[in-house]
Every structure is written in structure tokens, then in C-alpha cells.
Structure 1
């Protein structure tokens, strides 16, 4: 995880989402093997969409994020367009299906 893109409070998360037209959050937990295995695959997908800004949130560092964003498991992937959630995937993510969904949204927003 790139510390430069890690968010540590609800205020930072809200600021990130509201200040990027296309914002993507990767929400994980420290001891989550699925989170760690999925991350490089998601980063590879997101690299194909350069206008989407990506940030990371560790639930262990921001425990109140679970209630704030209605998160029941990890990992959770959320894509926002203009501050509004348009895509949410959780736990076991099928990477190719996820990529197709992101691609559809990305090209509709251009």
C-alpha cells in the first residue's frame, strides 16, 4: 500500500471523495488475507483508468468508517463519481467483472 494515498480519518475520506470527480476507495483490514491478495489485482485494473484517483483505508486505523460507510466485511471497493457512490464490491471480487463495471462507468463519465 502506498502510504501517500492512505487515509486515516472520516474527514480525510470525505475530503478525498468530494475533491476528486472520479474517486476510488480500497478498504481493507490488517490481517485480511483476501484484502492483501486482491490489492495488486485491483491496482492493476485501476492503472488502466488514469482519471480515477485511488486511496486506501485500513479499517483498523479508522474503526468508525464501518458505520459511516455501512461496511460489514473486508475488502470493500467503492467507486464514486462526483461524490456519489456508483459501484461497490465486497469480500470476494471477480476481477474481470469488476473491471468491466469500472470500464463502463469510466467511459460514460468521459
Structure 2
């Protein structure tokens, strides 16, 4: 998973990517490290979703820009608009169902 290093990279990724999934983590977060491989595996089913990671402790502006108060935070954008937000304790079945609904709808529109 590619890491975004600046707030400008984050903004560009979200605004220029049709299906953008942003994984906001922190370096010293054990939940973040445990969740990451599960998320990567889940998103393999959705090849048109682009996934990027940003470390909130390195790109501090991310917290103010997207109102992120804890890590991990998962944000899914469609054409620059936030459609899904999950934080801290992610329920993977719920997350998978939500992604499936959004992805299926977007696929039917193409």
C-alpha cells in the first residue's frame, strides 16, 4: 500500500481518484498494524478502488482537514465525496457490506 506523505498528496489523491480509500494510521498503533492486512485483503475483491495510507502522526494536517480524532480511521471517497467512515474498532462484516453496496452501485453507473 502506497503511503501519502503530505496533505497535498492526500487532497490530490481524493480529488483525482474516482474510488479513493484512505487508511489513516499511526506508527505506534497496534490496532492499525493488525487491521492493515485485513483491509488489503478485503479490497482485493474491488480492483477499481485505489487504497492509500497516511500516517496521522507524520501528516498532522490530516486530522484537521478530515476531522480525524483516532487511529485507525478508514475513509472511502467517490469522486471526492466521503461516502464511508469507520474508526478505531472496525466491524469487518459491516465494512464489507457497505463497500459492496457502494461499489456495486458505482459499477452499475459505468
Q: TM-score range by the shorter chain?
A: over 0.9
Aligned: 1:19 with 2:19 = no
Normalised by the length of structure 1, the TM-score is 0.95
CA distance in 2, matches of 1:47, 1:16: 19
Which of the numbers 92, 97, 100 marks the counterpart of 2:89? 92
Partner of residue 31, structure 2: 34
Uncovered stretches (5+) of structure 1, i.e. residues with no partner = none
Aligned length: 107
Partner of residue 57, structure 1: 54
Which of the numbers 38, 43, 46 marks the counterpart of 1:46? 43
Aligned: 1:108 with 2:102 = no
The runs of 4+ residues in structure 1 deviating greater than 6 Å are none
For the residue of structure 2 that corresponds to 1:49, the secondary structure is coil
CA distance in 1, matches of 2:60, 2:15: 21
Uncovered stretches (5+) of structure 2, i.e. residues with no partner = none
Note the aligned Cα RMSD (angstroms): 0.7
Partner of residue 7, structure 1: 4
Normalised by the length of structure 2, the TM-score is 0.95
CA distance in 2, matches of 1:94, 1:69: 21
For the residue of structure 1 that corresponds to 2:40, the secondary structure is helix
For the residue of structure 1 that corresponds to 2:89, the secondary structure is coil
